[in-house]
Amino acid sequence: MKTIVLLFILCSACAINAQSFHTEHNYKSKGIIIQNSYPKGGQRFTAPDGKEYVYVIFWTSITNSSDASMQLNLAFSANSFTIPSSGDINFNVYLPDTEMKPEKAALPNYGLDIISYLNKNLDSKTKLGATITPHSSYSFYTVAIANQGVEGTMRAGFELQNEELIYGLNNHKISSGTIQLVK
């Protein structure tokens, strides 16, 4: 009996951990699937000027299940913003140009060298562009930094509204770019 209970617990744990993403949006009519990860990080970062921040890293995978290529264009301003759930906290969002690979999912910070990236790009606007060929996926990082920690867990991810990509950060929506068929 103990063996059966242990086996059940082990199988349940594997099933829970098997899903490596937080949300999935399937836009069947457009041939697009967007998966957004859980956060990693939540660590402090001290900038070269001595200012302290807290960072969180996410990844997003966009799958093109259509027969045509798609062009992904994303951008975030260098201006910080606040979100209603954390009104006293200033946020910035960054798009490292390093492609996220599936084998990095288990690594700390999803394998992103976050300190080097922030040292080079802090207070800069950020953009990312990629062509997603038919029946393939493209995965990338998103980094949210704040001037202080938030209460609770950060959730973030992209969703599609027509051809516009909207980034949600704890339910605060930011227009962030487009995904379009290449003609």
- Name the pTM for this structure: 0.85
DSSP state letters, the chain: -HHHHHHHHHHHHHHHHH--EEEEEEETTTTEEEEEEPPEEEEEEE-TTS-EEEEEEEEEEEEE-SSS-EEEEEEE-SS-EEETTEEEEEEEEE--SSBP-GGGTTSGGGG--HHHHHHHHTTS-EEEEEEE-TTEEEEEEEEEEESS--SS---EEEEEETTEEEEEETTEEEEEEEEEE--
* Reported confidence tier of residue 86, pLDDT bands at 50, 70, 90: confident
Of 14-23, 97-106, 155-164, 165-174, the one with minimum mean pLDDT is: 14-23
pLDDT at 3 over 70: no
pLDDT at residue 20 in the model: 66
Domain boundaries, the chain: 21-181
pLDDT at residue 15 in the model: 38
pLDDT at 16 over 70: no
pLDDT digits (tens, 9 = 90+) for 139-180: 999 999 999 888 878 899 999 998 899 999 988 899 999 999
pLDDT at 58 over 90: yes
pLDDT at residue 42 in the model: 84
